[in-house]
Amino acid sequence: MWFNVFYYLRIWDSTNYLARLVIEVFKEMVIFFVIYMIVHFAFAECFFFVSHASSQDYRETQTYFDAFRYSFLIALGNFNFSKFDVGGNYHQSTLWILLFLCQVVNMIIMLNLLIAIIGKTYGDVKSHQLAYRFQQQAGGIAQVISILP
């Protein structure tokens, strides 16, 4: 139901190209989301294997899902490295390198890629704003008319 709000916003001049912008950004983000998930799965696998190379007491993750969640939380800024600095963890430097790489790739590179995708989409929609306005208004009016008895 709430997705239909974007379709109804197409009728007015002040909101029609913004509604189109949101729809186009979602279309463009599909490929970005696939790449983003591949990066998370790659780091999750690295954290999983390094964690399982350590002894049972020093494992940061127990399952692959834990490793994926750990990688995702690192991208959000939630760092839990309590077992990194434990004296018996022989993979301490590897874990710190993975943590640093995960932060750089997810927080800097992927976020800049997302901003570039949104900026490109905004530029495309803004350059065709007049054409999109008439197209969106016509589509919105046709949908409202089809609802009426």
Confidence band, pLDDT 50/70/90 cuts, at residue 100: confident
- pLDDT of 82 reads 64
For residues 92-103, average pLDDT: 82
Q: What residue spans define the domains of the chain?
A: 27-142
Q: What is the pLDDT of residues 72-91, one digit of tens each?
A: 888 887 776 665 555 555 66
- pLDDT of 6 reads 67
- Rounded to the nearest 10 degrees, the angle between the axes of helix 16-53 and helix 110-127 is 170
Judge whether residue 5 has pLDDT over 60.
Answer: yes
- In our burial notation (b when 16+ CB lie closer than 10 A, e otherwise), range 103-140 reads eebbeeebeeebeeebeebeeebeeeeeebbeebeeeb
Measure the CA dihedral 33/34/35/41, to 10°: 110
